[in-house]
Structure 1
Amino acid sequence: MTNWLATTIIVVSLLGAAYGLVATLRDRAMDWGHLIALGVVEVLLILQVVLGFLKLADDEGPRDSATFIGYMLGILLIPAAGAGWGVLERSRWGPAVIVVACLSVAAMIARMDQIWTGNV
């Protein structure tokens, strides 16, 4: 894991969740800002996955690399699924899906860091 990138992903995800929460509380549908936020999170996640695989190839990383790889591949699906579901849900619950997706990404990144450092 790249620590500065993991921290950046968590911060951006939490900001995206806050933005989605404000829209949900204001009874607004999802807008382009939500999609952009999820897109930024996805790009950061792709960068983290590429760097993670490079470090694993250099024999760095956790003893249980299979779990870590599963997390890396699974986390890439969350922003895309959240965006798709949010677009389909045109009520206030569309941004609520974005909140859940962004909070899930932040939690999974924190868990990936635990796996990477061996603090399971």
Structure 2
Amino acid sequence: MIIWFTTLQIVVAVAAGAFCAIAGLAGRRPSDFSVGALALVEVLLIGQIVMAIVAPFAGNPPSGDPLEFWVYLVSAALLPIGGVIWALLERSRWSTVILGVIALAVAIMLWRMQVIWTVQVG
């Protein structure tokens, strides 16, 4: 993983999570802004998937368990999709809060993926 890209993803996910959580607690239903924030998180996760495929061939293999890394990455990529589907089916303020919680969970998962990729020694 590339640290600057991971940091960018975490910052975007935390910002999206805070925005959605605050908007939901303020009574806002899912909108283009809240769904778009999760879509941006998803696009960055897809970029991370591409980087994780290419990185070992470029001489940057994970130092931790690759299976654990990929389970985290695939799960993180599926969370925003599921959250947006839920938000579109149940258009309530709590759906917007859930979008925020999902974005914050993705931020935590990204940090864990960075730790798995760089810190652990097999």
TM over 0.5: yes
2:19 corresponds to which residue? Answer: 19
2:82 corresponds to which residue? Answer: 81
**What amino acid maps onto 2:48 in structure 1?**
Q
What are the ranges of 5 or more consecutive residues in structure 2 without an aligned counterpart? none
- Is 1:2 the counterpart of 2:2? The answer is yes
CA contact (8 A) 1:82 1:101 kept: yes
CA contact (8 A) 1:62 1:68 kept: no
Q: CA offsets per residue over residues 97-116 of structure 1, 9 Å max, x none?
A: 11111011000000001111
1:110 corresponds to which residue? Answer: 111
CA contact (8 A) 2:41 2:80 kept: yes
Tell me the CA shift for residue 45 of structure 1: 0.6
CA contact (8 A) 2:21 2:100 kept: yes
Q: Percent identity at matched positions?
A: 37
Q: SS of the counterpart of 1:27? A: coil
Moved over 2 A (4+): 56-59
Counterpart CA distance in 2 for 1:19 and 1:85 is 18
Count matched residues: 120
Tell me the CA shift for residue 58 of structure 1: 4.2
**What amino acid maps onto 2:93 in structure 1?**
R
Counterpart CA distance in 1 for 2:109 and 2:100 is 14
TM-score by length of 1: 0.91
Counterpart CA distance in 2 for 1:62 and 1:54 is 15
